[in-house]
Amino acid sequence: MTATEARPYPFSTPRRLDAEPLLATLRTQTTIRVRLPYGEPAWLITRYEDVKLVLSDPRFSRAAGAGRDQPRMRPFFAPPGSIMDLDPPDHSRLRRLVAKAFTVRRIEQLRPRAQQVADELVDAMVAKGPPADLVEDFALQLPVTVICDLLGVPEEDRATYRMWSEAFVPTTRYAPEKVRECLMQLSGYLADLIAQRGKTPTDDLLGALVAARDNDDRLGDRELLGLVQSMILAGHETTASQITNFVYVLLTHPNQLAELRADPGLLPRAVEELQRFIPLSVLGAIPRYALADVELNGVLVKAGDAVLPVLPSANRDESVYTDPERLDLRRAEATHLNFGHGPHHCLGAPLARMELQVALGTLLKRLPGLRIAGPEADIEWKDGLGVRGPADLPISWDGTPGR
């Protein structure tokens, strides 16, 4: 097969959290053209430096995808209006306004609340006794509670909100009609919350976003709705999956787990290395379109061509990381690209980092002898989602959990 022939992608059905072996070959050879289940072909970008370039160079555009049959895993498109669909200067304007409300300081103010929620979830698991399902009993509940607190979603609406938010990351789990229904319901619900904040200001993030101004400019309702929908994607399923993935990987790498237990101060660095090591995304990243001819890894990408940067591949690039297939919680090499790079670097990165640190730190501190309950081969893995991870993870522990 030549580089210009479109090869079906993903290349294989993901197995657990194993890296796709063909990506390592492509990093050392050339850029190839692929075709996803839906949409036009795209050039697959696998090397770290090439991925960074595509994500940050103005010659590659998100806005140019409007009206195009964009490469994708599902037959329908994501709802319009997302900040991810814009290029500077429109993107810069929205991001500047959001930055006034979505600050690291605001996120850090949530840390005690996140810790309280994590402790309450562990308390409930302990009261029920082992085994517990880490996915249902902990990982899904922590981020949805935190994001609802952050946005000001009322307690009585949170179960429905969780169902709606799951519709943002499916590939085949739900029928397209069900996904559209969930997204319409979520959009209507968020529009009502935004309207309420316009009439009665609040000190939650949604209220701060409604009030965000830059001189005489402000976020419009449509812009704000698209932005909040994007935050939900970053704030629920991806973080929940990573909580479970982190625990699974550490429990299957006992030497690294022992090192982290012996040195809790290693936790922030461990969170970054686990992000690098785990190939979370099935797709890789959102496609971009070339605005000019650009050579990437020996292939001329022509203006108008779609390109698909693969973040999990960049995070395993042998030219950037020493022994990249090895989990090393003390690794101090290049920053991983799980949160993207450049203008579209994930707005929710500080929130995700805080939640992952709280979740992992709490589980390791509170549950002595934490382990997988039952044979590892019996773990069921997610099917039909845009992110990878166990669908359930039975866990057990020893003795009396601490506080």
Portion of the chain with pLDDT greater than 90, in percent = 52
Residue 249's pLDDT is 98
pLDDT in tens, 270-306: 999 999 999 998 777 889 999 999 999 889 999 999 9
**CA max distance for the chain:** 63
Residue 59's pLDDT is 97
Residue 231's pLDDT is 73
Question: Strand 32-35 to strand 6-8: parallel, antiparallel, or no bridges (unpaired)?
Answer: parallel
Q: What is the mean pLDDT of residues 364-393?
A: 89
pLDDT exceeds 50 at position 325 = yes
Q: Give yes or no for a contact between 286 and 341, defined as CB atoms under 8 angstroms apart.
A: no
- The residue among 147, 87, 80 whose CA lies nearest residue 113 is 147
pLDDT exceeds 60 at position 215 = no
- Local structure of 371: helix, strand or coil: strand
Residue 206's pLDDT is 84
Question: Strand 32-35 to strand 299-301: parallel, antiparallel, or no bridges (unpaired)?
Answer: unpaired
Average of per-residue pLDDT values in the chain: 87
- Rounded-to-integer distance, Cα 285 and Cα 312, Å: 9
Residue 149's pLDDT is 86
Ramachandran class of 289: left when φ > 0, alpha when ψ lies in -120 to 50, beta otherwise: beta
Q: Give yes or no for a contact between 43 and 308, defined as CB atoms under 8 angstroms apart.
A: yes
- Rounded-to-integer distance, Cα 194 and Cα 200, Å: 10
Please, what is the Cα angle at 166 between 157 and 106, to 5 degrees?
A: 65
Residue 1's pLDDT is 47
pLDDT exceeds 80 at position 384 = no
Q: What is the mean pLDDT of residues 216-220?
A: 71
Portion of the chain with pLDDT greater than 70, in percent = 92
pTM: 0.91
Q: Give yes or no for a contact between 226 and 82, defined as CB atoms under 8 angstroms apart.
A: yes
- Rounded-to-integer distance, Cα 243 and Cα 135, Å: 8
Report the range of poorest mean pLDDT among 94-98, 196-200, 308-312, 368-372: 94-98
- Local structure of 157: helix, strand or coil: helix
Residue 402's pLDDT is 65
216 falls in which pLDDT band (50, 70, 90)? low
Tokens 């002595």, located at residue: 368
pLDDT in tens, 168-196: 555 456 677 777 788 788 888 888 988 88
- The backbone torsions φ and ψ at residue 9, rounded to the nearest 5 degrees and listed phi first, read -140, 140
- Local structure of 178: helix, strand or coil: helix
pLDDT exceeds 50 at position 159 = yes
- The backbone torsions φ and ψ at residue 271, rounded to the nearest 5 degrees and listed phi first, read -60, -40
- Rounded-to-integer distance, Cα 328 and Cα 274, Å: 9
Residue 144's pLDDT is 86
- Rounded-to-integer distance, Cα 56 and Cα 98, Å: 20
Concatenated DSSP letters of 13-81: ---TT---HHHHHHHHS--EEEE-SBSS-EEEE-SHHHHHHHHH-TTEESGGGTTS---BSSSSPPPS-
335 falls in which pLDDT band (50, 70, 90)? very high
pLDDT exceeds 90 at position 166 = no
What kind and span of H or E run contains 207? helix 205-211
The reply to whether omega before 10 is within 30° of 0 (cis) is yes
Report the range of poorest mean pLDDT among 215-229, 318-332, 353-367: 215-229
Q: What is the mean pLDDT of residues 244-253?
A: 97
Which string of b and e fits 164-195 if b means at least 16 CB within 10 Å? bbbbbbbbebbeeeebeebbeebbeebeebbe
